[in-house]
Amino acid sequence: MNNELSLIYENLNNKYPTEKEYLSSVYEFLTSISEIYNDFPDLGDLGIIERLIEPDRIITFKVPWVNDQNKVIVNTGYRVQFSNLLGPYKGGIRFDKSVNLSILKFLGFEQTLKNSLTTLLLGGAKGGSDFDPANKSDLEIMRFCQSFMNELYRHIGANTDVPAGDLGVGAKEVGYLYGHYKKLANVSNGTFTGKGFDYGGSLIRPEATGYGVCYIAEFALNKYLDKSLNGQKVLISGSGNVGIHAAFKAKELGAIIVGMSSITGVIEDQSGIDVELISKIQTNKLSFKHHLETYPDAKYYSNPRDLWKIKANIAIPCAKENEVSLTDAKFMIENGVIALIEGANKPSEVEVSKLFEENKLIFIPSKAANAGGVSVSLLEMNQNASHLQWDKNLVDQKLKGIMENIFNNIYNTALKNNNIYNLTKAANIASFKRLYSAMKQLGV
Ligand code: GLU
């Protein structure tokens, strides 16, 4: 990293010394753009970098709600409106015990870069709460969502800030959140994406992130190796919304899913996993062990990390940030993995992409690989603005086109940098260029 950027990072570090997730994503970004810094002589005077790495606004609020035992519980709610340079603030809401400001600032920054890469008119944001939806009744979840929205509603709007789901926020939570928003704001304009189809959602939105991951994998396999997903042995972690749909699409494209995981363990089946059954197990919130009742010859491991020790060609981590360590990545490569496609937001620890690069293997960073979800969110916004709903094929075709643009953009940028195996750097540079140009034109 050059001196100017080192100084900017040092100041940020002094200001937010405890926010390690946020600091680490800014660090990766600054390192990536370091070698093109001198191509933009006005960066320093215009304070471009300082303005890009700090969120526009952070809203923090109290979320009191009544549980089924009639006891009042108080959680904390957040919305990090990171940047609206390219369009309305856009990004998911996460409900998870681990939610704190550092994680949301990291995710908001990543979302800003990701949304820039889509080439769509989308700003970046992230929000959520330390509320844990696990083991809560439907009514508890509804009361929590309504209390959360009692504050959030005044900060969002179809042209201001459009939230969506994320970890812990699926179709049910989106329904309760948006349902309450409509009442409070007295509008029906789709200020939320990932909505149910009956009240304004888009077809393919639930599948979009997982499908997008497979589409970009196909473009990459084709470009680098003249291959496709057909016949590849694939590992998928997480088995939530992203993982399940990635598994269905990969299978449809001819891949053999040899390993899948959830927090309840891992299933390995070298002859191909029954994804339908895994999906049912997940919907019923059961342990992966149940898979063995139907397929006694499959293998079960209780530690989710053991997934990465299975022999396969493609790894698609779809669970959570930092789920893949350097040791896991070494196992993967020893076992024949030729491509890692990040389905979750930054599921690999920083050293992992370096290892793939050194071994001249494909590594597609999340800001490119999982951008299909937010892209179809924009298509949902398009449909809401015109009060129409599109058919499935049209949305799917557009999604494929967007993923192809993203892939070509990062691949060509990497080619220009003389390193086609560093798509992480290429993605950061491509995102940065668009944000820089908009920021410059829009003034201080
Ligand atoms: N939470 C998703 C993401 O990380 C989707 C965001 C959206 O659709 O706004 O990209």
Q: Which of 90, 105, 126, 346 is catalytic?
A: 126
Mean pLDDT, to the nearest integer, of 154-165? 98
Q: How far apart are CA 213 and CA 424, in angstroms?
A: 15
In this structure, the residue with its CA closest to atom 5 of ligand 1 is 374
How far CA 127 is from CA of 59, 104, 258, 356, in Å, comes to 9, 6, 35, 32
Same domain, residue pair 353 and 215: yes
Please say which residue of 364, 392, 414 terminates a domain.
364
Same domain, residue pair 123 and 237: no
What token pair was written down for 386?
């015109």
8 Å CB contact between 74 and 64: yes
pLDDT digits (tens, 9 = 90+) for 292-313: 999 999 999 999 999 999 999 9
3-class SS of residue 421: coil
pLDDT digits (tens, 9 = 90+) for 209-222: 999 999 999 999 99
Distance 66 CA to ligand 1 centre (A): 29
Asked if residue 146 is part of any domain, the answer here is: yes
Same domain, residue pair 267 and 324: yes
Same domain, residue pair 224 and 332: yes
Name the residue range of residue 223's domain: 208-364
What token pair was written down for 121?
């008119």
Same domain, residue pair 246 and 131: no
Q: What is the pLDDT of residue 203?
A: 98
Q: How far apart are CA 247 and CA 275, in angstroms?
A: 7
Atom of ligand 1 nearest to the CA of 194: 8
Which of 84, 110, 195, 377 has the most ligand 1 atoms within 8 A of CB, as the residue to mutate? 377
CATH for 332: 3.40.50.720
Atom of ligand 1 nearest to the CA of 193: 8
Please say which residue of 314, 344, 364 terminates a domain.
364
Same domain, residue pair 232 and 167: no
Q: What is the pLDDT of residue 336?
A: 97
In this structure, the residue with its CA closest to atom 10 of ligand 1 is 374
Same domain, residue pair 254 and 136: no
Q: Is 320 a catalytic residue?
A: no
Asked if residue 369 is part of any domain, the answer here is: no
Same domain, residue pair 272 and 234: yes
Asked if residue 111 is part of any domain, the answer here is: yes
Same domain, residue pair 145 and 218: no
Residue owning tokens 């094929």 = 393
% of the chain beyond a pLDDT of 90: 99
Asked if residue 153 is part of any domain, the answer here is: yes
In this structure, the residue with its CA closest to atom 8 of ligand 1 is 374
DSSP string across 361-379: -EEE-HHHHTTHHHHHHHH
Q: What is the pLDDT of residue 299?
A: 97
Q: What is the pLDDT of residue 4?
A: 96
Same domain, residue pair 80 and 174: yes
pLDDT digits (tens, 9 = 90+) for 336-349: 999 999 999 999 99
Q: What is the pLDDT of residue 369?
A: 98
Q: How far apart are CA 62 and CA 264, in angstroms?
A: 32
CATH for 105: 3.40.50.10860
Asked if residue 193 is part of any domain, the answer here is: no
Mean pLDDT, to the nearest integer, of 184-195? 97
Please say which residue of 132, 158, 188 terminates a domain.
188
pLDDT digits (tens, 9 = 90+) for 77-117: 999 999 999 999 999 999 999 999 999 999 999 999 999 99
Q: What is the pLDDT of residue 150?
A: 98
Q: What is the pLDDT of residue 71?
A: 98
8 Å CB contact between 248 and 272: no
Buried b (16+ CB within 10 A) or exposed e, 373-394: bbbbbbbbbbbbeeeeebeeee
Number of domains into which the chain is organized: 2
Q: What is the pLDDT of residue 270?
A: 96
Residues 6+ apart with CB under 8 A from 405: 118, 119
**What residues flank ligand 1, with Cβ below 6 Å?**
90-92, 164, 166, 193, 345, 373-374, 377
Asked if residue 284 is part of any domain, the answer here is: yes
Same domain, residue pair 183 and 219: no
Asked if residue 324 is part of any domain, the answer here is: yes
CB atoms within 10 A of CB 276: 12
Mean pLDDT, to the nearest integer, of 369-390? 98
Give the confidence band of 437 by pLDDT, cuts at 50, 70, 90.
very high
Atom of ligand 1 nearest to the CA of 376: 8
Average pLDDT, the chain: 97
Asked if residue 426 is part of any domain, the answer here is: no
8 Å CB contact between 402 and 52: no
8 Å CB contact between 225 and 378: no
> What phi and psi, each to the nearest 5 degrees, are found at residue 426?
-60, -40
Same domain, residue pair 344 and 296: yes
Residues 6+ apart with CB under 8 A from 422: 353, 357, 414
Q: How far apart are CA 54 and CA 226, in angstroms?
A: 41
